[in-house]
Structure 1
Amino acid sequence: MTQSEHDTIWLTQETHDKLKAELEHLSGPVRQEIIERISSARDEGDLKENGGYHAAKDEQGKVEARIRQIQEMLRVAQVGETPPDDGIVEPGMKVTYRFVDDEETETFLLGHREMEDGTIPVFSPQSPLGAAIMGAHRGDTVSYQAPNGKQLHVEIVDAVPFTG
């Protein structure tokens, strides 16, 4: 199976390293601690009304799902070099846009939500807006369909490499 560019997740080296550290933590100490809690709860007897057992099993499911999610992200990740400062929208770019007929601009990072650090919103390249503006140039106007079905038109005011 070939990996399409659409499936690639662009990550900074810092974000990639954080994900690897989280994966190691979840796969090691967190997973072991949950296994010990499940085992201890089993030793208490009747599992039907054992809240500790059920809570640990629920947590185990969430942790295992997160482990699989991180593994998949790292599998398709493109760690990287900062994109070129050429005004073309691509993952890793800080994009400023405005809705046509509106003076206010908004800025976001086109990337993966794991890159969110609270300083700038992150939109996925697979989101409706992200998909519509991929490959657009500074000054272009693009249209896309919002999740509510409304057709929206945005102008790319600027697209510069995200530097953190």
Structure 2
Amino acid sequence: MNSYPMTTDGAKKLRDELEQLKSVERPRIIASIAEAREHGDLKENAEYHAAREQQSFCEGRIQDIEGKLSNAQIIDVTKLSNNGKVVFGATVTIMNTETDEEITYRIVGDDEANIKNKLISVNSPIARGLIGKEIDDIAAIQTPAGVVEFEIIEVEYI
């Protein structure tokens, strides 16, 4: 089994979702199935079939989350001493060397990635190009528009 790197925030979100699914969604779906059963003939009972489908999805998601959490390697970057090196969980400010445009990303696990929130997957081309580099280093990153050079301005372990 592979271990999946995950930030403490990412692990907390998954645990919260798991708790919601087990304590709220699962009982609600079971009640819906029981109620739909009382309506009689199950072959043509759309409510029953919809509830069974929800149950299947819910149970699948519970298994998925439990699997991810059991294989998670939770990394709390705030516990590491910041030596200016880009590591998993770090928040990195980079500058495009051609346009002087600055952008800040946090490097997170695959499930946590959300480009709108500036959270990039550790497996993304940008993150792979930044990991291991240090402040003032130049990272050449392959983008759809070609290779772009970024200077690392700041590395935070927050």
Identify the TM-score tier after normalising by the shorter chain.
Answer: 0.7 to 0.9
- Number of corresponding residues: 154
Corresponding position: 1:80 with 2:83? no
Deviation readout 1:108-163 (Å, 9 max, x if unpaired)? 211135487x8x521111122112211111122223333x474333222211111x
Gaps of 5+ in 1: none
Which amino acid is the alignment partner of residue 4 of structure 2? T
8 Å CA contact retained: 1:38, 1:57: yes
Q: Residue 99 and residue 51 in structure 1: after superposition, are their counterparts in 2 closer, same or farther (change >3 A)?
A: farther
Which amino acid is the alignment partner of residue 58 of structure 1? E
Q: Aligned residue for 1:160? A: 156
Corresponding position: 1:110 with 2:107? yes
Q: Residue 102 and residue 68 in structure 1: after superposition, are their counterparts in 2 closer, same or farther (change >3 A)?
A: farther
Gaps of 5+ in 2: none
Aligned alpha-carbon RMSD (Å):
2.8
SS in 2 for 1:136: coil
SS in 2 for 1:52: helix
SS in 1 for 2:128: helix
Deviation readout 1:32-89 (Å, 9 max, x if unpaired)? 2212212322332344543323332333233233323322332213142513211111
Q: Aligned residue for 2:137? A: 140
Corresponding position: 1:58 with 2:77? no
Q: Residue 128 and residue 59 in structure 1: after superposition, are their counterparts in 2 closer, same or farther (change >3 A)?
A: farther
8 Å CA contact retained: 1:86, 1:160: no
CA distance in 2, matches of 1:131, 1:105: 18
Q: Which is further off, 85-94 or 66-75?
A: 66-75
Which amino acid is the alignment partner of residue 38 of structure 2? D
8 Å CA contact retained: 2:11, 2:74: no
Q: TM-score, normalised by structure 2?
A: 0.77
- In the TM superposition, 1:3-152 aligns within 5 A as 3=2, 7-12=3-8, 15-75=10-70, 76-80=72-76, 82=78, 83-112=80-109, 114=112, 120-146=117-143, 148=144, 150-152=146-148
Identity %: 31
Q: TM-score, normalised by structure 1?
A: 0.75
8 Å CA contact retained: 1:90, 1:135: yes
